[in-house]
Structure 1
């Protein structure tokens, strides 16, 4: 059973059980009558419709052996307002089957793998129909004129069929239609003529077809559209002006296509959500998003981006979610998020980032989620995480952390905010050798040390203790520019540093004592 069909059924059952006020004494065999007006019939051996449920207004028939709806099927059910057929064995529906149901408002015929067609005139009496769902059948085409009488229809779904072509003007009389779902078919193109008459259309779903290209005027007849989904097709190019007539479009999803480039002013100014995940984008130039001042969500995951222009997000002051994960980014411009103070979620995981600029998130004080996992980061720069005003969730695992003195800032931040770090135990040290493979959370702060650096000329130092005094003696070679740096760490994380230089005026062997 299709997941959406299953969810629909569950909601129906829940609603029926909530209104359970009627005894099933007079309910037909193989049916459940939860109220005097609602019934569900489900039995594989059921070959005909029940005859004694004349008061029912909402009827669900599922998983039966019913194969044919004829002219007499609904003669005794004139009050039906909602009729649902799910996962039956329907092979044919008579052109007059629904004539006795002029009051029908919702009709679904879905999940019938033997049903290949519906005839013109099938819905001629259903002038009050507002929802028609014809999903997951075996339609290869749809007969012209079949929807002509449905002028009050608001939702039409034809997803999950085998449709490769739809005749022009098929929907021309559907002047009230607001949502059209043609996803999961085999459509190869979208003609302007196909959408003629859909003056009120707000949502169009064309995902997971075989669409290879779009013409500049494909959507010029649907100016009221607010949501357009073209996921999972084979679109490689977006013609100039293709969305220019969609001045009210708020959601545009193009994920899972073959798009290699997007140009300036491709997208309408009204967009609030733009999804370009899983395409073939290798670069973004010419400020393709700069005019989208209403945009709140931008998804660019799973492309081939290896660098980003510093002004990529300029003017996107309403932006709240940006997803750049699963690319090939090695670095980010420090100013890329500048002045974007509304950002709440940043996805940067699964890239090749080896370093991050300290002020990258200087303006993101409201950040709630930050994902930096699965990169090549060895440490985080001092102050990077100090700008956030609210508690935020951060993901850092999957990086080759170098657990030396340079990671102490991140270590201290994690100690204070460990409950907000996801998968803390998976943050492993890649070095130095003594700590390799250990969880950073299990390492003591005193172990985060950097190895002593050798001076340009070899020197020999010894350490001695005298009560509370540590004495370091270094024997330096002639004219050595030796500089001795001493760092003292306090428990609260503060550091004191002292530097001693060999400032002898003559070149001679000497000893520095601290």
Structure 2
């Protein structure tokens, strides 16, 4: 049911206060909430009542058994401004059924699955109509000239029908039309002639049709467009400059098509007003420059086949607030890819193949609110990755094969300190080593996060020197290791017992340098 209609009915019911004077004159099987509003919702009603007041302005007929509207059906209610037929078994509407309704402003005929067509002249007297909804019917064709008399029309919806073709210049006289919804039909082609005359059109929805190709001048006549919805079609390619005339466009939705490449060249580099681009569910393997999208705030690239991104892909896109790259095949990201995106609040990298991220990757994202790194191939994260975040944020880190060794010290402590910020902590599990496998990261003690060095990783003991002075022994070793370092020295006493001395590097997370001198002094 239409949301506006639902709200209207709710308000009418709230306003209803039992039997009022006008209830006495209310038609059979209908309810009259006010003297000018009539609601008929009776499955047994096969025709509209003939005793309605001539003063009635709104009539709503829902789930009745009315199958036909004849030329005389509505002649006793000439002052109607709103007429709604919703979910009825209408099969035919006489071409003069609305002839007497010259004051009609809103008309809806929706949810009539057996209604296959309207006769020419059906709306010939509705010169004051501003809203026409013809959704969820069985319309297969639209006759040329059907809407010629509707010169005041602002909203036209014909979604969820079976329309496969539209006559050229069908909307030519609808010079005031602002919203046109042709979604969920079977349209295979739309051309420049389809939209001829729609000089004031602001919102166009032709999603979920069978459109494969768009010519370069398809949208030439509708330069005032602010929203264009093309989702769920079969568009595989967009020519350069195809949207160049849409200089006022705010929203472009191309979700669920067959695009493999996308570039800002489709706008001819004139996109000063574009706020949202949705490319979810295509077959994108490549993105070239988006640098002309200087006003873009929302970019949705999820569910594609992107395996890499240029390091300058978001250059000049500094207004970006929400970026969705989830469900792609990204294995890594350039260190500087998010540079200067200071206002971004959401970055979604869920379900990629990321194996590592650079420590400076989110250096400019101080105001981040949501960061999703879940379901990747991350084994650990670099020290300091989240240190630039200034405000309360939400992270998702589950679904990665976390390697719970000494390289996890930073992330382990960060998660313990910021637990409420991390969603689904119970699914953030260690993949290795074996004795910690399937343990939650937060359930592990820091002392359990240890590294076992291979022979190749062992320090070269030939670089160690031993100095002794009285009761002091100094051991100096030069190592090439980029990790926290702990030195354990064991002494075997005369009785055979072993006494152990544990020495840790002063810095818990030392900076990585090529050569590190570890000096242990034992008394």
> Could you state the TM-score of these two structures normalised by the residue count of structure 1?
0.88
In the alignment, which residue of structure 2 is the partner of 1:360? 361
Alignment of 1:472 with 2:490, yes or no, is yes
In the TM superposition, residue 9 of structure 1 has moved relative to its aligned partner by 4.1
**C-alpha separation in 2, matches of 1:65 and 1:244:** 50
Q: Is the 8 A contact 1:22 1:35 kept in 2?
A: no
The answer to whether residue 3 in structure 2 is matched with residue 11 in structure 1 is no
Higher mean C-alpha deviation, range 32-41 or range 372-381: 32-41
Offset, 1:93: 0.4
Shift of 1:457: 8.1
1:302 aligned partner: 303
2-structure distance, mates of 1:439, 1:182: 50
What corresponds to 1:372 in structure 2? 373
Q: Does 1:114 align with 2:114?
A: yes
What is the CA deviation profile of residues 314-341 of structure 1, one whole-angstrom value per residue up to 9, with x for unaligned ones?
Answer: 0001111111111000000010010110
Q: Paired residue for 1:487?
A: 504
Match of 1:158 in 2: 158
Offset, 1:75:
1.8
**TM superposition shift of 1:71:** 1.2
For residue 314 of structure 1, give the secondary structure of its aligned residue in structure 2. Answer: coil
1:47 aligns with 2:64: no
Distance in 1 between the 2:151 and 2:402 partners? 63
Q: Is the 8 A contact 1:116 1:137 kept in 2?
A: yes
Q: Is the alpha carbon distance of 1:86 and 1:156 closer, same or farther for their aligned partners in structure 2, counting shifts above 3 Å?
A: same
Aligned to 2:128: 128
Aligned equivalents of 1:438 and 1:333: distance in 2? 32
> Deviation at 1:423?
0.8
For residue 388 of structure 1, what is the aligned residue in structure 2? 389
Alpha carbons of structure 1 residues 485 and 309: separation in structure 2 relative to 1, 3 Å? farther
Matched, 1:85 2:80: no
* 1:412-467 superposed Cα distances (whole Å, 9 cap, x missing partner): 222222112111111111111111111112222222222255537899xxxxxxxx
Tell me the alpha carbon deviations over residues 116-154 of structure 1, each in whole angstroms, 9 at most, x when there is no partner.
111111111111100000011111110111111101000
1:326 alignment partner in structure 2: 327
The 5 Å alignment of 1:209-288 reads 209-267=209-267, 268-269=270-271, 270-285=273-288, 287=289
Q: How big is the shift at 1:38?
A: 2.2
Moved more, 187-196 or 256-265: 256-265
CA–CA distance in structure 2, aligned partners of residues 156 and 8 of structure 1: 15
Q: What are structure 1's unaligned runs of at least 5 residues?
A: 460-468, 475-483, 502-511
Question: C-alpha separation between the residues in 1 aligned to 2:14 and 2:405?
Answer: 62
Q: Structure 1 stretch 440-449 or stretch 268-277: which is displaced more?
A: 440-449
Distance 1:38 1:441 in 2: 62
Q: Which residue of 1 aligns with 2:497?
A: none
Partner residue, 2:441: 440
Post-superposition shift, 1:404? Answer: 1.6
Name the SS of the counterpart of 1:265 in structure 2: helix
Deviation at 1:292, TM superposition (A): 1.1
| 3-state SS of 1:194 partner | helix
